[in-house]
Amino acid sequence: MDLDERNNQTSISRRDFLKLIGTGAAALAIAGCDNQQIQTQISAKPTVAIARATDYDRASLQKQITELLDNIGGLDDIIRPGDSVALKVNLTGGTYYQPFPGVDPIESYVTHPEVARVLGERLLDASAGEIFIIEAQSDLDSFDRWGYVEVADALGATLVDLNNPDPYDDFAEIPVGDGWLIYKHLLLNQLLKEVDVFVSVSKMKCHYSVGVTHTMKNLVGLTPVQHYRTSPEHFWRSALHGDEDGHKRLARVIMDLNRARPVHLGLVDGIKAAEGGEVPRGSFKPVKPGLMIAGKNAVATDAVATALMGFDPSIEYPNAPFLHGENYLNLASDLALGTNKLDDIEVVGAVLDDVRFQFAPSTEQSFDNHTIRVM
């Protein structure tokens, strides 16, 4: 089934959606309240928490994620009783890439469903209302194949494929605001305008074009593929990468996305991850750092995650890991979205220098050997 056929499929009806989220919440826009709340979060020294986690055992995750959230001050400042919450997971690639031999995608380049499940439980404990698990899927069965149908059932959550406008008639043009870099508006599912709380649940990985992919880069998966590609044959968002000035474009697109839809909470799954690339190709190799990171400022969260990978989060292109594209964290800092200077971040929980795990940067896109490094 191609993307245009998939775009015509309805994952949830408008009537059911309004029943779940409530017509009052549907009137909430991002621009006013959300941006003010995000500015409040970045005005003080941001706190980012690190936790050691060796596996995806549910009981262990419940303990570690609870401690992470407690260490960043809990959720009371971002969730009010009954708030709707969107969990943006990273299900990149779909069936277009063969899984790494002997390694499950959820243990190398896809957000592990148990992480999303336990985080969803904590959000419900904090009095969240409806939870939406969202992603612009690379294929129709990614949610099912990687365990998210079961997670949604357990949480009473709704799965939303962002390649579709459903339950609306069309996508919304969401403004980036003053100082936009590539896109003045972004065409996105209207749920992203209306949800009260937005959470990015990413996988710790290297990335060929922008060096690393964590909380902020995860938002590329908000965009409907069919509207952000330069050719109908492309299954990837080729328009976001560009050809001319390719080393600059994607980093700037990430900035526009994060201003159009600011993140309230970032959780990075680095228990089992991938160095050398974002999907199984080229210099990609699975690794087991045994880490999770959480923060309420996306820039600071990604800066700490990048440092845990053994890289300087403020280094300039073309230095590792930013060998092929600009350091989006420097752009974010310049735009006053947050700081990527470690001295300006309060790092709590595990000691960064004690748990740092050196990643190899992404250096090529042809297939490589298959080995796994363990901390």
**pLDDT tens digit sequence for 85-129:** 999 999 998 777 888 888 999 999 999 999 999 999 999 999 999
Rounded to whole angstroms, the Cα distance separating 334 from 273 reads: 29
List per-residue pLDDT tens for the chain, 375 residues long.
333 333 333 344 433 443 344 433 333 344 444 554 444 444 589 999 999 999 999 999 999 999 999 999 999 999 999 999 999 999 998 777 888 888 999 999 999 999 999 999 999 999 999 999 999 998 888 999 999 999 999 999 999 999 999 988 999 999 999 999 999 999 999 999 999 999 999 999 999 999 999 999 999 999 999 999 988 888 778 899 876 666 899 999 999 999 999 999 999 999 999 999 999 989 999 999 999 999 999 999 999 999 999 999 999 999 999 999 999 999 999 999 999 999 999 999 999 999 999 999 999 876 444 444 444
The confidence score (pLDDT) of residue 21 equals 40
- Give the count of domains, the chain: 1
Q: What is the pLDDT of residue 370?
A: 43
pLDDT at 96: 77
Q: Are 153 and 120 in contact (CB under 8 A)?
A: no
pLDDT of residue 234: 81
280 alpha-carbon distance from chain centroid: 18
Rounded Cα–Cα distance for residues 305 and 203 (Å): 10
- 38 by Cβ neighbours in 10 Å (0-12 / 13-18 / 19+) ranks as buried
Query: Could you give the angle at the alpha carbon of 258 between the alpha carbons of 306 and 79, nearest 5°?
Result: 95
What's the pLDDT at 22? Answer: 40
- In this prediction, residue 34 carries a pLDDT of 52
Contact of 208 with 362, CB cutoff 8 Å: yes
Chain length of the chain: 375
Q: Provide the H-helix boundaries in the chain.
A: 3-7, 14-21, 33-43, 58-71, 113-125, 142-145, 148-155, 191-194, 238-241, 246-260, 298-308, 328-334, 352-355
How do residues 166-224 score in pLDDT, each as one tens digit?
A: 988 999 999 999 999 999 999 999 999 999 999 999 999 999 999 999 999 999 999 99
Residue 178's identity, in one-letter code, is D
Rounded Cα gap, residues 43 and 71, in angstroms:
19
pLDDT value at residue 300? 98
- At 41 the pLDDT is 47
CA 190 to chain centroid: 18
Domain region containing 76: 3-374
Distance CA 287, CA 217 (A): 20
**Cα(143)–Cα(147) distance, integer angstroms:** 6
pLDDT at 242: 76
Among candidates 271, 297, 220, which has minimal Cα distance to 111?
271
